[in-house]
Structure 1
Amino acid sequence: MKIFKQTHRLATFAVASLMLFSCSSDDDGLEPDDPTVINPPIVLDCSYFGENPNVHLTDDPNAPVDYIVNCDPMTSGDFIIDAGVVIAFESDAGLRLGKYADGKIQMNGTADKPIILTGTQKDKGSWRGIQISSDNPANRMDYVTVEYAGQTGRNGWALQGSLIGTYGAVLEMNHCTVQHGHLIGFHWYNNSKSLTLSNSTFTGNDTPIETSVNHINSIDGTSTYTGNVNNYIKLTSHDVYQDVTFHKTDVPFLSTGFKPDNGAKRRFTFEPGVTILMEAGSQIRFQNAFHYNHEIIMVGTAEDPITIKGKEDVPGYWTGIQIDYTTNPLNEIGFLDIANAGATNGYPNGAILLGSWDIFLNMHDVNFIDCFEYAVSIERPNDINFSYNNLNLVNTPKMFSDWSGGEI
């Protein structure tokens, strides 16, 4: 198994060999240096983790693989890995870290000495993966590669992903790579607590990331998400319980729809260049049971518009955007391409729906592309503060309708 440390060592050994054989015949009587010692990996079984509530794994420079894990332990104490450590996991093996506890999790790789968490077999899903449940604010992963993980359906793991955050997990993750994962590379569940993500790579997975809209603030343009079977970031959970910002990324988001919860005022910000793919029948709705005056800041630029469209290029594939009960003067939709929207089974069926009489909205420079019938449907056109300009129909039949489907 030629992993980073071994490859580096063999290259050094090759250079040393060339230097040795290039010496003159005067040196023939010298004894060669002792060959480099290669140490075998240390096997960590479940008894080791049971006897050691706090784990600290160190690097052996002479071991291509430092440790082999052959089970699926559940830890509660501190779990620390030093730079340069390589761990290979057998089938059915993995790590559940910080389960029902707040043990500190730190994987301290560096650019020169990354930590490698891999499988003994180089196949997608050859081992279970890493599950993090600790809510310790000191949790962090730096320069860590997780690869060939994501095994499902055995030993009680119902959660999917190569690297998983759940049950209140907290994690800061920098310069990491999650690759060649089965189903989902990085799965940060809605019931996790806090994620900080930067400068990381998600590639070669079936899907790079699945997470809740409530964790969307952490998914930004400092990381890359391309080279996967499904090149999108999958979003789950409909109810948004905090302010959220959609950052521009190098792949689209895929959404089943979302709306604010009933807890408080929320601010929704969409940066220029954001692309969202909508699942069939889904809707984005800025409304809840109380008049909290949610803020909608969906403003692209002429050079970098926001795009929200159906996952499939079919008119009426998704329901559209509905705005109700918000008179916030910051509400603005501009330089947006909205495509494939509109209900196909009744009225109102605009790509954008303005319901109720409590609405303020400035809308400009919007292209309605391949939408089902109407661009905008308005429930009470005489009772809202709605300004608009430069709205364009592209393969969309009509501009405005009332709530019953009549053209206005």
Structure 2
Amino acid sequence: MLLPFFAIALLIAPPHAARRTPPPCHTLTDAQFRQPLILTEPCYIINTFASVSAPLTINPGTTISFGEDSALSFENGGFINAVGTADKPIVLRGREHAPGYWTGLRIGSNSPRNHLSYVTVEDAGQKGSSDEGAVQVGVGARLSIDHTTIRNAASVGLNVLQRGTLSHFEANHFEGDNIPLSIKAGDAAALDAATTFANNAHNYVLIHFNDAEIEEDATWHALAVPYRLEGTPEIKAHLTIEPGARLEFHEGFGINVNENGSLTAEGTATHPITFTGGEEAPGFWDGIYFQSKSPKNILRNTVIKYAGTKGGLANAAVALAPGAAATVQSSEIAFSATAAIRVMQNAQLNTDAAATNRMHDNAAGIVQEQ
């Protein structure tokens, strides 16, 4: 008698064709993180807010599932070395796929060995805490992060607090986060154009008010998303802004180039540099205030809109303090609630500023103060 086809298939199928049992997950306790630990198994579970006071190494291909409200918090003496590969990434995720389900990674140590590479962090970043962020670099801490995806954060994807440091940042991806990045002004130069952003609720890089000083020469690159400034950075060195960059300002804030600093924002006709308000309202943000006489103070092929807060530091879209100097050319300056350009006593503005710039819908044009 002929056997049915499916019966023959069962008879000849090799034993390993049966459904494989997934490897067991090992549950980690808080006590295990008080001594050096290397995670070599493919699957782990953490259900606690664990304080890590010793080195933690996570091998490529490892997945850690975190219970609700759980976290890894790295203290002095501890660090995280999570280095995966493109083929074997490390995955840190919630046991449930929901934004903010677990707290996240809290980097509190300043070890140079804190490193995330080819890691996916998802479902973290609870809202409502003072240290929001799926990955938080705490006060005085440091982190190197590259080829890492931070996804589905209820608050901030990567949050760098005051005096925290991004020692390296390269080719990361932020997706489905409330805010992908929150950093200090001094961190902005670390960001690279290879980093990508997708489907974030607020698709910008937030530059917060803590440590709002730029004390070393830096370049801000043109990113796929705008910079959003919620403070007025004081530029004490030379800052270059790349063509195509877009800077948006929270209400009342601007840029202050002090007497030792300089700002070069030189775009192109096809890739201008944009300075604008977070809202399209005249005078929404302060403006750009030059205090130095550096020949590197250049605004060329820029778009400056909705600046000129009345009574602000600049009190114009662009202002030159007494004795300062700047070149403003081939730029559009519009919708200032005060002047387009304010030139104070003994300040030096290029003589062709009125002819080479397009100034419109401002309360005043170029104002010379004697």
Superposition TM-score, scaled by structure 2 size: 0.90
Tell me by how many angstroms 1:174 deviates.
Answer: 1.4
The reply to whether residue 235 of structure 1 matches residue 207 of structure 2 is: yes
Equivalence for 1:214: 186
Tell me by how many angstroms 1:348 deviates.
Answer: 6.9
The alignment partner of 1:216 has SS state of: helix
CA distance in 1 between counterparts of 2:249 and 2:12 reads 75
Equivalence for 1:129: 104
Of the structure 1 ranges 134-143 and 222-231, higher mean CA displacement relative to structure 2 is found in: 134-143
Indicate how the Cα distance of structure 1 residues 317 and 26 shifts in structure 2: closer, same or farther if over 3 A, else same.
closer
Q: Match for 1:100 among 76, 82, 86?
A: 76
Matches within 5 A, 1:1-400: 28=11, 32-33=15-16, 35=18, 36-50=20-34, 53-60=35-42, 66-97=43-74, 99-101=75-77, 103-152=78-127, 158-236=130-208, 237=210, 238-260=212-234, 265-287=236-258, 291-292=259-260, 294-324=261-291, 326-345=292-311, 349-357=315-323, 359-380=324-345, 383-387=346-350, 388-389=352-353, 390-400=356-366
Equivalence for 1:3: none
Indicate how the Cα distance of structure 1 residues 378 and 198 shifts in structure 2: closer, same or farther if over 3 A, else same.
same
Tell me by how many angstroms 1:397 deviates.
Answer: 4.3
Q: Is the 8 A contact 1:190 1:214 kept in 2?
A: no
Indicate how the Cα distance of structure 1 residues 128 and 369 shifts in structure 2: closer, same or farther if over 3 A, else same.
same
Tell me by how many angstroms 1:152 deviates.
Answer: 4.7
AA aligned opposite 1:257 = G
CA distance in 2 between counterparts of 1:347 and 1:234 reads 22
CA distance in 2 between counterparts of 1:385 and 1:317 reads 26
Q: Is the 8 A contact 2:114 2:142 kept in 1?
A: yes
Indicate how the Cα distance of structure 1 residues 91 and 57 shifts in structure 2: closer, same or farther if over 3 A, else same.
same
AA aligned opposite 2:226 = P
Q: Is the 8 A contact 2:286 2:314 kept in 1?
A: no
Q: Deviations over 1:321-377 (max 9, x none)?
A: 1111x12222211011000011235897321111112x2222211101222232111
CA distance in 1 between counterparts of 2:299 and 2:14 reads 78
Q: Deviations over 1:181-215 (max 9, x none)?
A: 01111111232134311111001000000010011
Indicate how the Cα distance of structure 1 residues 151 and 29 shifts in structure 2: closer, same or farther if over 3 A, else same.
closer
CA distance in 2 between counterparts of 1:255 and 1:39 reads 47
Paired positions, count: 361
Q: Which runs of 5+ in 2 are unaligned?
A: none
Percent identity at matched positions?
A: 26
Indicate how the Cα distance of structure 1 residues 120 and 239 shifts in structure 2: closer, same or farther if over 3 A, else same.
same
Q: Is the 8 A contact 1:105 1:134 kept in 2?
A: no
The alignment partner of 2:102 has SS state of: coil
The alignment partner of 2:197 has SS state of: coil
Q: Is the 8 A contact 2:343 2:349 kept in 1?
A: no
AA aligned opposite 2:237 = R
Of the structure 1 ranges 70-79 and 345-354, higher mean CA displacement relative to structure 2 is found in: 345-354
AA aligned opposite 2:244 = G
The alignment partner of 2:206 has SS state of: strand
Tell me by how many angstroms 1:74 deviates.
Answer: 1.1
CA distance in 2 between counterparts of 1:191 and 1:230 reads 24
The alignment partner of 1:215 has SS state of: helix
Indicate how the Cα distance of structure 1 residues 402 and 125 shifts in structure 2: closer, same or farther if over 3 A, else same.
same
The alignment partner of 2:158 has SS state of: strand
Equivalence for 1:4: none
AA aligned opposite 1:310 = G
AA aligned opposite 1:317 = F
Tell me by how many angstroms 1:104 deviates.
Answer: 4.1
Aligned Cα root-mean-square deviation (Å): 2.4
Superposition TM-score, scaled by structure 1 size: 0.82
Equivalence for 1:13: none
